[in-house]
């Protein structure tokens, strides 16, 4: 019993925590997110202006990548569980380079969409879901520290790549920019994953018994707590992502200049770092269900505050920062929600299942947020709807308590 408990918590005998792998993932997450995600919103106006493709069709092509990443994330997680992250993430990097070059070469919007579909395959194998699985298994009981370090560093991706992409666009145009980004992706993430993720892959006791492991995954995935957790995660991701995407229009509607609104959005991103720093002490003092409800309810309150406060400007900027803090805490909450409740056996597969609806929610959030705003007639009213959705997520999180077979108590 004690041996099983140690294995489930990641405390079984294994080499020292692979700091080299953590360092490699910090680098590859910065570049991967920068190339496969943050470059697009910066490049979008240039792409549509140069090609004549419509904004909705071009954005829809980008959203396809999220949908593909959501679907492929489940088998990708299963493969990492079985073989480790080195092979999956290295292949994902190769696919990402090919996809980025295909984006650059796209002669029409259909090709462009197909290239982003391929990019979705790369996202599933290289971004947070894969990295979270790797660090959760390698670091075991110290996973929260490792995940905090990773998300803090990776949070710099937008800070680095948004201005860098803008500078490349000014110098080269969008096609050449994506060629440069593909080269950067190739020289950093392919060797980073191939050489940096070579640490031995630890296996929980259940790994020697596939039938037991598969039974554990099936039991967890069909449990009431996991279903409630999945619903809560998807609703929160939708509300927070839609609120962030539409923060600048909201603030402009409140009378802020575009410059000040942009600063507010940037400070909201900085707020994510505070949320991630604060998560570790919170996780040590609370149960998984309590912090889930608290963080999600806090997210609902901050979305409501950002949308409903009329001003002044300083208050609206402060509300934007607090919204960022809630988003930052939510990232770590989601990355640890499965392992905190059910241990690390089958984590990659279970996290892939949990993350699929969340990723789809993120994909539809920009379009759906605009549709909500058009329906209710204003951005403040839209934020009120988003706050209600986030509140529903907090209610769903009440159902995520599980009787831990490791701790022998209700959490």
Over the stretch 133-150, which tens digit does the pLDDT of each residue have? 899 889 888 888 888 899
**pLDDT tens sequence across 377-397:** 888 999 999 999 999 999 999
Highest mean pLDDT among 44-58, 155-169, 319-333, 380-394: 380-394
pLDDT at 27 over 90: yes
* Structural domain 207-410, CATH architecture: Up-down Bundle (1.20)
pLDDT at 169 over 70: yes
Confidence of residue 9 (pLDDT cuts 50, 70, 90): very low
Confidence of residue 195 (pLDDT cuts 50, 70, 90): very high
Residue 8, pLDDT score:
42
Q: What is the pTM of this model?
A: 0.78
pLDDT over 70 percentage in the chain: 91
pLDDT over 90 percentage in the chain: 39
3-state secondary structure the chain: CHHHHHHHCCCCCCCCCCHHHHHHHHHHHHHHHHHHHHHHHHHHHHHHHHHCCCHHHHHHHHHHHHHHHHHHHHHHHHHHHHHCHHHHHHHHHHHHHHHHHHHHHCCCHHHHHHHHHHHHHHHHHHCHHHHHHHHHHHHHHHHHHHHHHHHHHHCCHHHHHHHHHHHHHHHHCHHHHHHHHHHHHHHHHHHHHHHHCCCCCCCCHHHHCHHHHHHHHHHHHCCHHHHHHHHHHHHHHHHHHHHHHCHHHHHHHCCCCHHHHHHHHHHHHHHHHHHHHHHHHHHHHCCHHHHHHHHHHHHHHHHHHHHHCCCCHHHHHHHHHHHHHHHHHHHHHHHHHHHHHHCCCCHHHHHHHHHHHHHHHHHHHHHHHHHHHHHHCCHHHHHHHHHHHHHHHHHHHHHHCCEECCCCEEC
Confidence of residue 13 (pLDDT cuts 50, 70, 90): very low
* Fold topology of 2-203: Growth Hormone; Chain: A; (1.20.1250)
**pLDDT tens sequence across 342-363:** 888 888 889 889 988 998 898 8
Domain spans, the chain: 2-203, 207-410
């Amino acid at each position: 019993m004690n041996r099983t408990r140690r294995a489930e918590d990641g405390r079984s005998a294994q080499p020292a925590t692979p700091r080299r792998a953590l360092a490699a993932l910090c680098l590859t997450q910065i570049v991967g997110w920068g190339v496969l995600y943050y470059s697009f919103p910066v490049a979008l106006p240039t792409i549509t202006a140069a090609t004549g493709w419509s904004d909705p069709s071009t954005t829809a092509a980008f959203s396809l990548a999220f949908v593909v990443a959501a679907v492929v994330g489940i088998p990708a997680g299963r493969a990492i569980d079985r073989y480790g992250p080195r092979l999956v993430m290295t292949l994902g990097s190769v696919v990402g380079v090919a996809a980025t070059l295909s984006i650059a070469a796209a002669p029409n919007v259909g090709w462009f969409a197909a290239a982003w579909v391929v990019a979705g395959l790369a996202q599933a194998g290289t971004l947070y879901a894969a990295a979270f699985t790797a660090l959760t298994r390698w670091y075991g009981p110290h996973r929260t520290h490792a995940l905090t370090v990773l998300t803090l560093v990776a949070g710099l991706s937008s800070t680095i790549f948004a201005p860098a992409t803008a500078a490349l666009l000014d110098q080269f145009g969008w096609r050449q920019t994506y060629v440069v980004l593909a080269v950067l992706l190739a020289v950093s993430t392919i060797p980073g994953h191939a050489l940096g993720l070579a640490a031995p892959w630890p296996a929980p006791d259940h790994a020697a018994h596939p039938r037991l492991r598969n039974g554990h995954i099936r039991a967890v995935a069909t449990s009431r707590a996991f279903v409630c957790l999945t619903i809560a995660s998807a609703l929160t991701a939708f509300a927070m992502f839609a609120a962030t995407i539409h923060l600048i229009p909201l603030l402009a509607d409140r009378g802020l200049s575009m410059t000040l609104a942009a600063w507010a959005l940037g400070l909201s991103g900085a707020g994510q770092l505070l949320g991630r720093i604060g998560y570790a002490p919170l996780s040590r003092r609370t149960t998984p269900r309590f912090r889930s409800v608290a963080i999600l309810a806090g997210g609902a309150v901050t979305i409501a505050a950002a949308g409903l406060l009329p001003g002044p400007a300083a208050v609206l900027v402060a509300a934007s920062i607090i919204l960022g803090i809630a988003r930052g805490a939510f990232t770590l909450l989601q990355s640890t929600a499965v392992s905190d409740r059910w241990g690390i056996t089958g984590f990659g597969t279970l996290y892939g299942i949990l993350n699929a609806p969340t990723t789809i929610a993120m994909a539809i959030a920009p379009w759906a947020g605009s549709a909500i705003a058009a329906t209710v007639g204003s951005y403040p009213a839209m934020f009120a709807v988003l706050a209600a959705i986030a509140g529903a997520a907090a209610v769903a999180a009440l159902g995520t308590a599980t009787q831990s077979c490791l701790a022998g108590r209700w959490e």
